[in-house]
A = this chain, B = another copy of it.
Amino acid sequence: MQSVTIRDVAARAGVSVATASRVLSGHPATSADSRHRVDEAARELGFRLNAQARSLRKTRTNTIGVLVSDVRNPFFAEIAHTVEQSALAASMATLLCNANESTDQQDLCLDLLVSQRVDGMIVAPQGDGSGSLRDVLTLGMPVVFVDRTIDGVDVPSVTSDNRAGIADAARHLAELGHRRIGYVAGPQETSTGRERLLAYRDAVAEHGFDTDPHLVHQGDFQVASGVEGAELLLGLDEPPTAILAADSLMTFGVLQVCQDRGVRIGSELSLVGYDDIGTFRLVSPALTVIAHDPARMGALAVEMIRDVLAGETVTSAVLPTTLVVRGSTGAPDPRRIA
């Protein structure tokens, strides 16, 4: 890993380092002659610009940090992918971190990103605005929230319309005749978890659904809590006729339990999932889901962070959700309606 520096290039080209630097970074004030000679020399020596040195001098690293909770979640994988691609198109690198739904690890990651002096961050945040997140913001670090926000923290964000999503799903279930609807909630440390739960509660009130507190299971956006929730809900003396799960991983968990117990989805039990993961089309019956658009979210987030970096003011965006009705929802099981 010996390094060819710009000095070597300059020497070989017979020019000063200043000229070499100007040529290599596309500065206009260079003659055709030196441009040619420097390019040639750089090629011959296999010169690779040292981004560390450049970053130190300029105060831009051309790198953005991406903090999501877990790339193994297809929703965040999609976001991470589009963010990386959009950034690459602007020849920026992306530093990826997973917080694993843990505030401690989120802090760890944020500290890492600050120390790496990323130009900006795209964050799916968690917790209240305390800890490293507060530090990051008071530092003046450009941040854009994606998918989630934090109450009282004024940061541009691109989210989706969680309340509308749940409301649509609830209306759909109401129209089918359901009155007793189980809900596997997301962690209340996240804005999405909170908003969706609130929307569920509103729907319960609006449609006059059963208000039995046992119908809500507090999960954590992980598969295991979906399993747990499903077992509890299905184990109730009077089980729900439909279940709504607040994210894709918990939906998987619910599906798994239904599979294992031989619960026939669509007839015995209606199920609505959150996030339109490709595989939700493939299970049978295909899943009715509240879909949103992580790719668009990611792309928009990059656009926003670039705008912030360019000094422009940006406004938050709330993307619509769509209810995709498939076979997993149907009229409630007549035996259960009583």
Instruction: Give me the interface of A with B, judged by CB distance under 8 Å.
Output: 1-3, 46, 48-53, 55-56, 59, 61, 63, 66, 70-72, 74, 77-78, 80-81, 84-85, 88, 91, 93-98, 100, 105, 108-109, 111-117, 135, 139-141, 223, 252, 255-256, 259, 277-279, 281-284, 286
Q: Are B1 and A48 in contact (CB under 8 A)?
A: no
Q: Which single member of B49, B112, B140 contacts A2 (CB below 8 Å)?
A: B140
Q: What chain B residues lie within 8 Å of A139 (beta carbons)?
A: 1, 46, 48
Q: Which single member of B3, B95, B255, B278 contacts A93 (CB below 8 Å)?
A: B95
Q: Which single member of B52, B105, B282 contacts A283 (CB below 8 Å)?
A: B282
Q: Which single member of B49, B66, B81, B97 contacts A72 (CB below 8 Å)?
A: B81
| C-alpha spacing A227/B56, complex, angstroms | 49
The quantity of this chain's copies bound in the complex is 2
| C-alpha spacing A66/B284, complex, angstroms | 36
| C-alpha spacing A178/B96, complex, angstroms | 45
Q: Are A88 and B74 in contact (CB under 8 A)?
A: no
| C-alpha spacing A256/B70, complex, angstroms | 26
| C-alpha spacing A115/B185, complex, angstroms | 44
Q: Give the interface centre of A55, A85, A113, A282 by most chain B CB atoms within 10 Å.
A: A282
Q: Are B48 and A115 in contact (CB under 8 A)?
A: yes
Q: Are A278 and B259 in contact (CB under 8 A)?
A: no
Q: Are B50 and A56 in contact (CB under 8 A)?
A: yes
Q: Which single member of B3, B55, B282 contacts A252 (CB below 8 Å)?
A: B282
Q: What chain B residues lie within 8 Å of A111 (beta carbons)?
A: 48
Q: Are B96 and A84 in contact (CB under 8 A)?
A: yes
Q: Are A116 and B93 in contact (CB under 8 A)?
A: yes
Which B residue's beta carbon lies closest to that of A138?
B46
Q: What chain B residues lie within 8 Å of A52 (beta carbons)?
A: 52, 55-56, 61, 116-117
| C-alpha spacing A282/B328, complex, angstroms | 14
| C-alpha spacing A111/B100, complex, angstroms | 30
Q: Which single member of B71, B78, B109 contacts A88 (CB below 8 Å)?
A: B109
Q: Are B115 and A49 in contact (CB under 8 A)?
A: yes
Known: A2-B140, A140-B1, A140-B2. A72 touches B77 (CB 8 A): yes
Q: Are A98 and B72 in contact (CB under 8 A)?
A: no
Which B residue's beta carbon lies closest to that of A2?
B140
Known: A2-B140, A50-B56. A284 touches B281 (CB 8 A): no
Q: What chain B residues lie within 8 Å of A2 (beta carbons)?
A: 140
| C-alpha spacing A111/B51, complex, angstroms | 11
Return 9 A-B CB contacts under 8 Å, by A number. A2-B140, A46-B135, A49-B115, A51-B117, A52-B52, A52-B56, A84-B97, A84-B98, A223-B278
| C-alpha spacing A225/B108, complex, angstroms | 40
Q: Are A97 and B88 in contact (CB under 8 A)?
A: yes
| C-alpha spacing A112/B92, complex, angstroms | 8
